[in-house]
Each structure stands twice: as C-alpha cells, then as structure tokens.
C-alpha cells in the first residue's frame, strides 16, 4: 500500500527566507508524486508533479521539488517566500492507471514579516 | 475555461438525514474523483468514476455512494448522516483517468452535521 509522510505539521518562516517542506513516500513501484497547496476555504491547487525523467521539477509560483529515490523523498523548496505563500501544503503519491491519490497530512506554512 | 464546480458550497444537515453533493468537471474531462477532508483524518479518497463506471473505491462504509452521468457530471450521496461525516468534500476531475493526468480540484462542499 502506498503512504506519504509529511513530518512537519507547522512551519514558520520569515518573508524572503528560503523554504523546504519534507515529504517521504512509500510505494513499491515508480511513483507519481505531487505537491498541492490549499488556501483557507479553497480546494487544492497543483504546484508541481513528478512522473519520470529529470528528478528536479519546476512548478508554479517559483516552487521546485527534487525526487530522491534512494531516500524515498520528494521535498518541496522555494528560495524566497512571499507572504502570499502562507497556506497548507500537501504531498501526494499516485500510480499509473488510476486516479487515486494518497495524501500526506499536510504542512501548514506561516509567513512572518 | 471553467474549472470544477461543486454545489452546494455549504450545507447543514442533522443526524440521520441524507445529502447529495454535485460536481461538474472541466469540459472534456471524463474522470471524476471524490475526497473527504477532515482535521482528524486528512484527505481520504472516496471513489473515482470514469465513463459512468466506478473504477476505484476507498475504505468508506456503504452509506457513501456516487454516480456519474453521461455528461461526466457526478453526484455523491451520504445516507443516514453521522456527526463524523462533517467534512469538506472535494471533487476532482481529469481527462483520461490514467493517473498521468493532473487532477483539478473544485473548491469543495462543506458539510456540517448537527
């Protein structure tokens, strides 16, 4: 069975500082990996995805993530955060052939001036 | 183009009642998935429909059901509501449902059970 662990429930960073959100997954085959962001009262918006190929993927809003098979990780990074990045971030794993995604518990990001 | 539309956005029900939630996918999308989001359990997969057929089902009791119409619109129904069914119900659509397409989520239907 597939699973996702996001070890950080809540992270606070200063505006302009760098950010890294951790994600570890468990899946027997090559996973499809995703990062979604959710603002209060909203649905989920895709930031980026990894299916295959280059292990460093670029997403929207200046985010990137790196797939490391040896560590079963898919960490999300941003070099300089903006106040508008405050939201909840979810890592998810899926598989070829179906649309079922397994989500992590999320990391709530707070930005301080 | 229009996104995924979920109706109603908010609703309040009492225990024992039933509820029907609606989801209109992006035009051309044939796969519709439903997720339940609660503070305690997080985001959990309910079921997925493709071309009017349920292809995947999560670990939820039979009180949770769904269907998809020929125009790809989908509904989910929860019967005999319990307090624990209070949640944000999210619908997502994708073009082919083969896992390689991005899920686009709606804003959700927030259900409160009193």
pLDDT along chain A (113 residues), means of 10: 93 97 89 93 91 92 96 97 97 84 96 95
Q: Which residues from chain B sit within 8 angstroms of residue A105, using beta carbons?
A: 42
d(CA A38, CA B35): 14
Both tokens assigned to A110 = 């707070």
> Cβ of A98: how many Cβ atoms within 10 Å?
17
Contact of A20 with A77, CB cutoff 8 Å: yes
- What are the φ and ψ backbone dihedral angles of A60, each rounded to 5 degrees? -85, 165
Scan for tokens 């918006």, then name that residue: A45
Q: Which residues from chain A sit within 8 angstroms of residue B56, using beta carbons?
A: 98-100
Q: What is the pLDDT of residue B99?
A: 62
Both tokens assigned to A52 = 């295959």
Contact of B84 with B26, CB cutoff 8 Å: no
- pLDDT tens for the 114 residues of chain B, in order: 679 999 999 999 999 999 999 999 999 999 999 999 999 899 999 999 999 999 989 999 999 999 999 999 999 999 999 999 999 999 999 987 666 668 999 999 999 999
- Asked if B33 reaches chain A (Cβ–Cβ under 8 Å), the answer is yes
- Asked if B36 reaches chain A (Cβ–Cβ under 8 Å), the answer is no
CB contact under 8 A, A44 and B90: yes
Q: What is the pLDDT of residue A2?
A: 86
CB contact under 8 A, B43 and A90: yes
């Amino acid at each position: 069975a597939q699973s996702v662990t996001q070890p950080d429930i809540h992270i606070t960073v200063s505006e302009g500082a760098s950010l890294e959100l951790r994600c570890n997954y468990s899946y027997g085959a090559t996973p499809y990996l995703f990062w979604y962001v959710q603002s209060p009262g909203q649905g989920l918006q895709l930031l980026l995805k990894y299916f295959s190929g280059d292990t460093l993927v670029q997403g929207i809003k200046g985010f990137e993530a790196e797939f490391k098979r040896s560590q079963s990780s898919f960490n999300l990074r941003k070099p300089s955060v903006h106040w508008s990045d405050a939201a909840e971030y979810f890592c998810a794993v899926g598989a070829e052939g179906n649309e079922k995604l397994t989500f992590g518990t999320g990391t709530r990001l707070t930005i301080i001036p | 183009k229009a996104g995924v539309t979920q109706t109603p956005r908010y609703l309040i029900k009492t225990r024992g009642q039933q509820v029907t939630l609606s989801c209109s996918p992006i035009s051309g999308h044939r796969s519709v998935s439903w997720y339940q989001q609660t503070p305690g359990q997080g985001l959990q997969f309910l079921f997925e429909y493709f071309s009017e057929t349920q292809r995947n089902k999560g670990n939820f009791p039979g009180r949770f059901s769904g269907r998809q119409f020929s125009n790809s619109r989908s509904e989910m129904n929860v019967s005999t509501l319990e307090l624990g069914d209070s949640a944000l119900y999210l619908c997502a659509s994708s073009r082919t449902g083969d896992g390689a397409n991005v899920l686009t989520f709606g804003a959700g239907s927030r259900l409160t059970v009193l």
